């Protein structure tokens, strides 16, 4: 067994794919998310454990972590975007939700599990941020601000843990086509969500990002991937996306 891995936001998308990938690598995987039924099915599928919780609920995080006696890998994946309005029209409640999940959720879970990650031969923290953590774009101020903050948390934590055997890794995906992210952002407008990926030849999948997590986690403990930015070939930068075929056959 490769050790115990905890994955938040594991009921779908990148979180679920990461849980499957780490289980395949031999980890005892603990999956965390709000949707208990989905979480239970995933845990049964991968032979892991389900701990339903909302990362924005401090008491729920403490209660869930109290059930664990080991954590070698923590993947802070819980997050999301809500709304795409310009700053002048932005809904402050959307911003508050994005900060609560992306930033404070990561903070709470990390704080709760850090004592276990520091035990024995050390551990690994992987924070899933976004290319929005570095590049701003119209309509994305709230999400970008939250991911900038999560990036700052990650970088600062790495500095503060220098001298301890705990790796801190940031994986920042670009365009990833999952079943829920864009639909949730546009509050159920499936057509608007689909337009984000229209004519893009092979945007990243959740499984692609999960492979990046497995790569960083699987390296020797003395090797730290500080930051891994991963995009589909069709996306050269946040604002430079090729729409049309890339590959023959």
Element (DSSP H or E) covering residue 44? helix 36-46
Q: What is the rounded CA–CA span in Å between residue 8 and residue 105? A: 9
Q: Would you state the pLDDT for residue 239?
A: 84
Taking 50 as the pLDDT cut, the residues of the chain under it are none
- What local confidence, expressed as pLDDT, does residue 1 receive? 54
Q: Is beta strand 235-237 parallel, antiparallel or unpaired with respect to 240-241?
A: antiparallel
Q: How many of the other CB atoms lie within 10 Å of CB of 55?
A: 27
Residue tagged active-site, from 46, 55, 77, 143: 143
The reply to whether 137 belongs to the active site is no
Indicate the domain borders of the chain. 4-241
pLDDT for 124-170, tens place per residue?
Answer: 999 999 999 999 999 999 999 999 999 999 999 999 999 999 999 99
The reported pLDDT for the residue numbered 24 is: 98
Q: Helices (DSSP H) in 66-180: which residue ranges?
A: 92-98, 105-117, 141-160
Question: In this predicted structure, what is the pLDDT of residue 143?
Answer: 97
Beta bridge partners of 170: 127, 227
Q: What is the pLDDT of residue 186?
A: 84
Scanning the structure block, which residue is given the tokens 């701003």? 136
| Domain at 4-241: CATH code | 3.40.50.720
């Amino acid at each position: 067994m490769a050790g115990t891995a905890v994955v938040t936001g594991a009921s779908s998308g990148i979180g679920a794919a990461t849980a499957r990938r780490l289980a395949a690598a031999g980890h005892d995987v603990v999956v965390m998310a709000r949707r208990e039924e989905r979480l239970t099915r995933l845990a049964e599928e991968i032979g892991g454990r389900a701990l339903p919780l909302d990362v924005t609920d401090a008491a729920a995080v403490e209660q869930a972590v109290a059930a664990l006696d080991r954590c070698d890998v923590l993947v802070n994946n819980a997050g999301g975007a809500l709304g795409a309005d310009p700053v002048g029209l932005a809904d402050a409640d959307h911003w508050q939700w994005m900060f609560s999940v992306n930033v404070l959720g990561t903070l709470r879970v990390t704080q709760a599990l850090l004592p276990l990650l520091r035990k024995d031969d050390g551990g690994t923290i992987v924070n899933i941020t976004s290319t929005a953590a570095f590049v701003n774009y119209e309509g994305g101020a709230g999400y970008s601000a939250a991911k900038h903050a999560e990036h700052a948390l990650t970088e600062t934590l790495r500095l503060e843990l220098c001298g301890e055997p705990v790796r801190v890794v940031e994986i920042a995906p670009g365009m990833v086509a999952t079943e829920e992210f864009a639909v949730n952002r546009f509050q159920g407008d499936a057509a608007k969500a689909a337009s984000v990926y229209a004519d893009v030849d092979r945007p990243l999948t959740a499984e692609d990002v999960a492979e990046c997590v497995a790569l960083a986690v699987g390296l020797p403990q003395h090797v730290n991937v500080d930051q891994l930015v991963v995009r589909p070939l069709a996306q050269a930068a946040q604002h430079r996306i090729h729409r049309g075929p890339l590959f023959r056959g």
